[in-house]
A and B are shown apart, each in its own frame.
Chain A
Amino acid sequence: MTVVPMETGLLLAGILFLLGLVGVLVRRNVIFMLMSIEIMLNAAGLAFVIAGASWGQADGQVMFIFILTMAAAEVSVGLALILQFYRQFKTLDADVASQMRE
């Protein structure tokens, strides 16, 4: 039947996480950055579930539920911020918002 080595599962989570990270670093569009963050969160959840499953425990799944909750809250606030950002700057370029430096 299914023989899934845990290492492979964790590696998949790692690759997905890094792809999300690259996305955050490369994209200037805030919507894409937010999407990339979702990828990273999902990858982290995947790692939890794989690790939990390999011990036959429910804890990994519980953690995923928490991550899911957190992602939902984060996305709702983040999208609202994007909305405000676009209204203010008439663009989605994250580099425009560099006034924090001053």
Chain B
Amino acid sequence: MFGTIWIIPFLPLLSFLILAITGKRWSEKTVSILGVGSVGISALFTVLIGIQFLTNPPPGHFVVQTLWSWMEVGSLTPAIAFHLDALSLVFCFVVTFVGFIIHLYSSEFMEEDEGFSRFFAYMNLFVGSMLILVLADNLVLLYLGWEGVGLCSYLLIGFWYKDPQNGYAARKAFVVTRVGDTAMAIGLFLLFTSFGTLHIDTLLDAASQNWATGTTMAVLASALLLGGAVGKSAQLPLQTWLPDAMAGPTPVSALIHAATMVTAGVYLIARTNVIFMLAPATQLAVAIIGAATLLIAGFAALTQVDIKRVLAYSTISQIGYMFLALGVGAWSAAILHFMTHAFFKALLFLAAGVVILAMHHEHNMFKMGGLRKELPITFWTFLIGSASLAALPIVTAGFYSKDLILWYAWAGEQGNFWLWLAGFAGAFITAIYTFRMVFVTFYGKRKSEISHKPGKRMLIPLVILAVFSIIGGLVETPHTLGHIQLFSKMLENVLPSTGILHSGISEELILQIVTALLALLGIYLAYYLWLKKFSLVQKITQVKLLATSQRFFFSGWGFDWLYDRLFVFPAVWLARINRRDFIDLFYDGIADANRYFHQELRKTQSGQIRWYALGILIGALITLTIVVFI
């Protein structure tokens, strides 16, 4: 069975090729069978391989399948090779399984769109690239997948390219992530010059043997890798592209900008955890970035009116939790939160997609309202997703993963009170903005008619994801609730376990109860403010200071404004004053000289035979002179 690992990324890529080359000829039905089916079969293979991996683990707890040697440049000899271990398996499972569900949903969502086959081609390419990313056994191949998903993100954000605004959002996402990718590329160069290899296992072994903890090189290399991760995962300070990326179709937001691609940064850090552990300074930076991002994005989410932008900021905030977990060394907690987040955030996006479709492509929550009765299944699944996001205790998946992160932030060796406090406050804010969204969208008075009732292909994915949003967390439960450790046991061969400073059931229990109460309080606050006493909200926003801060939060803490001033305007200004720079002048000069000589030489083409004879004479004269005298 392990010999078939290559099939997992191969099928979506094959389907991409077929759709990209011949997609236009086929009916929507054929296209969706091909597009959805290829990812579905990949998911099936992943599950089968996963079962074998878990029941009958291979020696060393990883499998490598080398297909062929990619290139050989000196000592750089990356192969097209897939490395499957527990970490890759989790990512593969989420990518193919959630990907399959979202593809299924898209086959109805994108119905009668002009670019139906183009959409599925891009989506398949994305799934293929993402699988290459998580299965790569060397960093060069990983970088190929990394750039591949970046390209697909660009293509899909700008999928409806006829609106220039979408194209702008796509370019912004591409350019901003490029900043991080450049840092990552430099980091790879640094690692290669240090160890002469980019094969991940060899590299990590060499790093742990040659670098002492806290070496400058380790800090530098890990900081550059962190730069790449920050760009891809939309963390501070490169988070500005994700809210704008919501210009793409909703399934794209669910797949790429919530469940999979944006967590590639988490994967990268988890994969190269050895280097990060050798650089405590960088690891602390990871935690601080995570904590700061989750708070900033949480506040920004509180003020948004576009339902997809709320979810976008929420995604940034939740990935902030994952970074916080990575930063405090709670590796498996981060991966668990990645998995549960993929379930409930994909669910929320897909449900939001149903709502948006039902509301004539209206994104503004405050123009919706009262959809509870009209879209019952959507409402219930959305509610489950929201509960999971808000970490409603015991019954939701989000609770288990977030609780684990908070526990390690409190009690882990690298955790401290302030990091815990940030996560704790974040949980409160999360509960508020999540249920604000629920109450505003589904409760209250109905404000417009429903235009599109979702069909089976849209509702089944919602139900499946809702089930996983509830039970997905049961693979890992805290000491107080049965202490199931399936997930961390599975990952223990890949990721180091987390050291605990102070343990004790009672302490853990108190923290859990406080967090749970806080989440409930947040939900109640949302209920009170946006459902019961909406006038109070209006009154609050009229206070000048609060209104200003609301505008500040609404704009995403003014990062766009700041970056415009810092980078965009100077670049535009430089481009404008430098329109005719030296190099341009040089090439223009060549062109002008050619044009001039052309005009002059044209005159000799008089068509008069005597002039041509004269030309022969002069030529003979010159030749003869050269021969005779020189």
| Contact present between A and B (CB < 8 A) | yes
Taking Cβ atoms with an 8 Å cutoff, the residues of A that contact B are 21, 24-25, 28, 33, 94-95, 97-102
Complex CA–CA separation, A94 to B514 (angstroms):
108
Residue-wise interface mask of B (596-630) relative to A, using a CB-CB cutoff of 8 A (1 in contact, 0 not): 00000000011111100110010000000000000
Contact A101 B610 (CB under 8 A): no
Give B586 Cβ to nearest chain A Cβ, in Å. Answer: 33
Contact between chains at A24 and B613 (CB < 8 Å): yes
Residues of chain B in range 40-70 having any CB-CB distance to chain A below 8 Å: none
Q: Choose from A95, A99, A100, A102 the contact partner of B610 (Cβ within 8 Å).
A: A95
Pairwise interchain contact B617-A101, C-beta atoms closer than 8 A: no
Tell me how far the C-beta of B283 lies from the nearest C-beta in chain A, rounded to whole angstroms.
77
Tell whether A97 pairs with B605 under 8 Å between CB atoms, given A21-B617, A25-B617: no
Q: How far is the CB of B164 from chain A (nearest CB, A)?
A: 46
The distance from the CB of B165 to the nearest CB of chain A, in whole angstroms, is 52
Q: For B609, what are the chain A residues with a Cβ–Cβ distance below 8 Å? A: 94, 97
- Chain A positions within 8 Å of B605 at CB level: 101
| Chain B residues whose C-beta falls within 8 Å of the C-beta of A21 in the assembled complex | 613, 617
Given the complex of chains A and B, what is the CA–CA distance between A33 and B609 in angstroms?
Answer: 10
How far apart are A93's CB and chain B's nearest CB, in angstroms?
Answer: 10
26 contacts between A and B (CB under 8 A): A21-B613, A21-B617, A24-B610, A24-B613, A25-B610, A25-B613, A25-B614, A25-B617, A28-B610, A33-B610, A94-B608, A94-B609, A94-B610, A95-B608, A95-B610, A97-B607, A97-B609, A98-B606, A98-B607, A98-B608, A99-B607, A100-B607, A101-B605, A101-B606, A101-B607, A102-B607
Q: How far is the CA of A99 from the CA of B608 in the complex (A)?
A: 9
Interchain nearest-CB distance for B428 vs A (Å): 84
Q: List chain B residues, Cβ under 8 A from A99.
A: 607
Cα–Cα distance between A14 and B508 once the two chains are bound (Å) = 116
Ranked 8 nearest A-B pairs via Cβ: A98-B607, A101-B607, A95-B608, A100-B607, A98-B608, A24-B613, A101-B605, A94-B609
Complexed CA–CA distance, A94 and B612 (Å): 12
Which residues of B are interface residues toward A (Cβ below 8 A)? 605-610, 613-614, 617
Complex alpha-carbon distance, A97 and B607, angstroms: 7
Residue of B at shortest CB range from A100? B607
Grouping DSSP codes into helix (H, G, I), strand (E, B) and loop, the A interface class, with mixed when no group exceeds half, is helix
Main secondary structure of the interface of B (DSSP, over half): helix
| B244 shortest CB reach to chain A, Å | 57
Chain B residues, CB < 8 A from A33 = 610
A99 to B606 alpha-carbon distance, docked (Å): 9
- Tell me the smallest distance from the CB of B515 to a CB of chain A, in Å: 89
* Known contacts A33-B610, A97-B607; 18 further A-B pairs (Cβ under 8 A): A21-B617, A24-B610, A24-B613, A25-B610, A25-B613, A28-B610, A94-B609, A94-B610, A95-B608, A95-B610, A97-B609, A98-B606, A98-B607, A99-B607, A100-B607, A101-B605, A101-B606, A102-B607
Q: Which residue of A lies closest to B616 (CB)?
A: A21
Nearest CB on A from B102, distance (A) = 65
A28 to B608, CA, bound (A): 10
Q: Name the residue of chain B whose CB is nearest to the CB of A36.
A: B613
Kindly provide the distance from the CB of A30 to the nearest chain B CB, expressed in whole angstroms.
9
- Minimum Cβ distance to chain A for residue B333 (Å): 82
- Chain A residues positioned under 8 Å from B610 (CB to CB): 24-25, 28, 33, 94-95
Which residues of chain A have C-beta atoms less than 8 A from B608's C-beta? Answer: 94-95, 98
Cα separation A21 to B605 with both chains bound (whole Å) = 20
In angstroms, Cα B617 to Cα A102, docked, is 24
Chain A residues, CB < 8 A from B614: 25
- CA gap between A101 and B602 in the complex, in Å: 10
Q: How long is the Cα–Cα vector from A101 to B608 in the complex, in angstroms?
A: 8
Shortest distance between the CB of A85 and any CB in chain B (Å): 12
Query: Chain B contacts of A100 at CB under 8 A?
Result: 607
Most buried by A among B605, B613, B614: B613
| CB nearest to B609 among chain A residues | A94
CA distance A25 to B613 in the complex (A): 7
Report how far A25 CA is from B610 CA in the complex, Å: 5
Q: Which residues of B contact A98 (CB under 8 A)?
A: 606-608
**Which residue among B605, B606, B609 has the maximum number of chain A CB atoms within 10 Å of its CB?**
B609
Minimal beta-carbon separation of B256 from chain A (angstroms): 60
Q: Quick one: which of B606, B607, B617 has the most chain A CB within 10 A?
A: B607
- Shortest CB-to-CB span from B599 to chain A, Å, is 15
| CA gap between A101 and B614 in the complex, in Å | 16
Q: How far is the CB of B231 from chain A (nearest CB, A)?
A: 60
Q: How far is the CB of A21 from chain B (nearest CB, A)?
A: 6
The answer for the CA separation of A33 and B610 in the assembled complex, in Å, is 9
Q: Closest approach, in angstroms, between the C-beta of B611 and any C-beta of chain A?
A: 9
A74 to B526 alpha-carbon distance, docked (Å): 106
A24: nearest chain-B partner, CB-CB: B613
Q: How far is the CA of A101 from the CA of B613 in the complex (A)?
A: 15
Residues of B within 8 Å of A94, CB to CB, are 608-610
| Complex: A24 Cα to B605 Cα, angstroms | 18
- The distance in angstroms between the C-alpha atoms of A34 and B164, with both chains bound, is 71
Shortest CB distance B477–A (Å): 90
From residue A47, how far is it (CB to closest CB) to chain B in Å? 15
Report the separation of the CA atoms of residues A24 and B617 in the bound assembly, to the nearest whole angstrom. 11
* CB-based nearest B residue for A22: B617
Complex: chain B residue closest to A94, CB-CB: B609
- Chain A residues with CB under 8 Å of B606's CB are 98, 101
CA distance A102 to B602 in the complex (A): 11
CB neighbours of A95 from chain B (8 A): 608, 610
Please report the C-alpha to C-alpha distance between residue A99 and residue B595 in the assembled complex, in whole angstroms: 23
A102 to B607, CA, bound (A): 8
Alpha-carbon separation in the docked complex, A24 to B611 (Å): 10
How many Å from the CB of A19 to the closest CB on chain B? 13
Nearest chain A CB to B68 CB, angstrom units: 60
Question: What residue of chain A has the Cβ atom nearest to residue B612's Cβ?
Answer: A100
Residue among A21, A28, A99 having the largest count of chain B Cβ atoms under 10 Å:
A21
Q: Cα distance A100–B605 when bound, in Å?
A: 9
CA distance A102 to B606 in the complex (A): 9
Q: A98 — nearest CB in chain B belongs to which residue?
A: B607
Q: How far is the CA of A50 from the CA of B606 in the complex (A)?
A: 39
Looking at the assembled complex, report how far the CB atom of B622 sits from the nearest CB atom of chain A, in whole angstroms. 15
**A33 to B613 CA separation, bound complex (whole angstroms):** 11
CB distance from A10 to the nearest CB of B (A): 15
Closest CB in chain A relative to B625 CB, distance in Å:
15
